[in-house]
Amino acid sequence: MKDKRYSNKSKDKGSKFEEEKSYEDQVEGRNSVLELLESGRSINKIFVANGEKHGSINKIIALAKERKIIISEIDRSKINQMAQSDNNQGVIAIVPPFNYCEVDDILNTAKERGEKPFILILDGIEDPHNLGSIIRTAETAGVHGIIIPKRRAASVNSTVSKVSAGAVEHMKIARVTNITETIRYLKDNDVWICGTDIATETYYYGQDFTIPIGIVIGSEGFGMSRLVRENCDFLVKIPMKGNITSLNAAVSAGIIMYEVVKQRIN
């Protein structure tokens, strides 16, 4: 492996990757709201359906009262009208804008843990269910942070939060204007970039992931964009033995992430 790589160093040291913090949303479902409360993140108000006073709802109400968060009991029909998902379970939390981080925050997290960077870069994941699943797996795998684009991609919303089972509250997520420029910035900070592409010859389990790594997962329909692919240091693929020649993006991400975990544990 080369010791040095050519790249144009960023003069602003990551300031161009400052994330916008303007996404208004709500979190739905008992587990998601419970994770939200336990994470310590700000909550404006919690709506609970009338008569819902059993199981985890009691814990939600107790934690909300402890944190002095306003609780409003309303008819179940009104809860359903407010809901953005099909399974609100009689509870909705209204939250301030999601607090996206900066790319440097992700790098600093790895440094604080005394670990080599382990970063996930999502190149145009549009399905919020896929994004939520990826965040959930990334959190369990010890990923230091996830990078997503601001345009033509899913952002963090109530569906993402629910599918992630609350993992979004514990994961650093940077939302950037230009994925290619961000990849170059990561290279300047000694992070190697691995793309996933069926056209390559290298299987994922044959690649060394003990190095500082940023793994790129392409969009559901088109994979990685040309510029992103060209800026990867190397490419890997997952063996395909059936008639279907592609995997769901969240499944592909999970397979690669846990290969990193496996190699770093050994």
Domains and CATH numbers, the chain: 25-95 (3.30.1330.30), 103-265 (3.40.1280.10)
Structure confidence by residue, pLDDT tens digits, 26-45: 888 898 899 889 888 889 99
Question: If you search the block for the tokens 């389990």, which residue do you land on?
Answer: 205
* Token pair of 49 as six digits: 């359906």
151-185 confidence digits (pLDDT tens): 889 888 878 887 888 898 899 999 999 999 999 99
φ, ψ of residue 78 in degrees (nearest 5): -70, -35
pLDDT of residue 52: 65
Express each pLDDT in 68-102 by its tens digit: 999 999 999 999 998 877 788 899 999 887 789 99
Residues 193/229, Cβ–Cβ less than 8 Å: no
Beta-carbon contacts of 218 under 8 Å, excluding residues fewer than 6 positions away, are 123, 124, 195, 196, 197, 224, 225, 228, 249
Q: Supply the pLDDT for residue 198.
A: 86
Which pTM does this prediction carry?
0.74
